[in-house]
Amino acid sequence: FRPRAARGGVRYHAGKGKDPVQAKVSAMMEAVERYSAEYRMDQMEYAAYEELPVHRTVNPADLILPRDLHEREKLHWSPALDLLSGDEVYVPSNAVFHPYDTLGMTFPLFQSDTNGLASGNVREEAILHAILEVMERDDMSVASRTRCMGRRLVLDHPSPARDIRNKMESCGIEIHLWLLSGRTRIPTVAAAADDTETKDPELLVMGSGTHPDPSIAVLRALTEVAQSRASHLSGGRENPGRKSLVERAGYDRMKRINREWFAPAEEFPISSMDDLSTPYIDDDIRLVLEELRPFAERVCVCDLTRTVIPVVRVIIPGFEVSHVNPARVRSHSTR
């Protein structure tokens, strides 16, 4: 619980993990991330896009805006490091801070969010987590927009992820695992849950995870499902608008609306997938950046560290975000 959260921020934080210790650490790290993402008199430039060096500035349009950007419209800009080129660049501060405060000087480009916000024991761990989250949200956005979940993933060998899946299914919770069709070889896995005992429409939830190790991607998707269920059952982070909509729609209709989550599809065994992870975080970052290079002009990192725990925000211009913010939909996507 964070009683002094900024206006528009979250006060209660939840965590997930395969055991209680991991879940507690996850909740505390989320609280640190949210605290660190709040604006605290950080350095910002105030200028129009046209006034900044074009080769060192992220074009706001590449962030998939829900509105047109007016010519010579002044914005706040924050410094970032482009991991692909090594250059320092400027990114719109709206994409860095959450909640974003215009300070009465400009208009928001979009509703700020936490996509690409991550913490870690060291800065490199935070960067890796943040990059993978941006990739995950991109893959989920495409899957939601195209209503194509890819292939059904089969857990055909023992693992902590399979243990958690089996534990859920023993409680009457059907789990549907999907291997999404992503841009890169780094797998994104989605898990759709259907509580067949309660038939509660609010317990039709989805979780997702991205990681070079497919087993870890599955584990993250499943623990996210568990966290979503727990938040609903405990009343935490309740969205009154969504709750009313889902209750009116009912269980059967919500399943029809999200029918792609439960549809038959080609099966793919996890044993056929390569574990691309390495023993070192630095090498994992290099691997992921090489996978991203054909699809991204920049991978921008903003350092938001306020405490002894490193926190960063990663922004990958051009990557889709409609899974987080439905208003930010690419008009014509080649994917």
163: containing domain: 147-272
Poorest-pLDDT segment among 46-60, 127-141, 237-251? 237-251
Confidence label for 294 from pLDDT (cuts 50, 70 and 90): very high
Phi and psi, residue 297, nearest 5°: -80, -30
- pLDDT class for 235, splitting at 50, 70, 90? confident
What would the two tokens of residue 112 be?
A: 């700020």
Overall size of the chain counted in residues: 335
Helical residues (DSSP H) of 267-329, grouped into ranges: 281-292
pLDDT in tens, 176-230: 999 999 999 999 999 999 999 999 999 999 999 999 999 999 999 999 999 999 9
Which phi and psi (to 5°) does residue 67 adopt? Answer: -145, 165
Cα–Cα distance measured from residue 97 to residue 43, given in angstroms and rounded to the nearest whole number: 12
DSSP-derived pairing of the beta strands 74-82 and 300-303: antiparallel
Confidence check: pLDDT of 313 > 80 = yes
β-strand partners of 176: 192
Residue 2 belongs to a domain: no
Run of H or E including 92: strand 88-92
Domain membership of residue 88 (yes or no) is no
CB 25 within 8 A of CB 13: no
Q: What is the pTM of this model?
A: 0.94
Within a domain: 82: no
311 touches 33 (CB < 8 A): yes
Q: Are 146 and 4 a contacting pair, CB within 8 Å?
A: no
Residue 59 domain-assigned?
no
CATH number for position 230: 3.30.160.660
Q: How many domains does the chain have?
A: 1
Look at residue 333 and tell me if it is in a domain: no
- Taking CA 29 as the corner, what is the angle to CA 4 and CA 209, rounded to the nearest 5 degrees? 125
Q: Is 30 among the domain residues? A: no
Q: Which helix (H) or strand (E) holds 249?
A: helix 240-257
Does residue 104 sit within a domain? no
Q: Is residue 312 part of a domain?
A: no
In this predicted structure, what is the pLDDT of residue 238?
Answer: 62
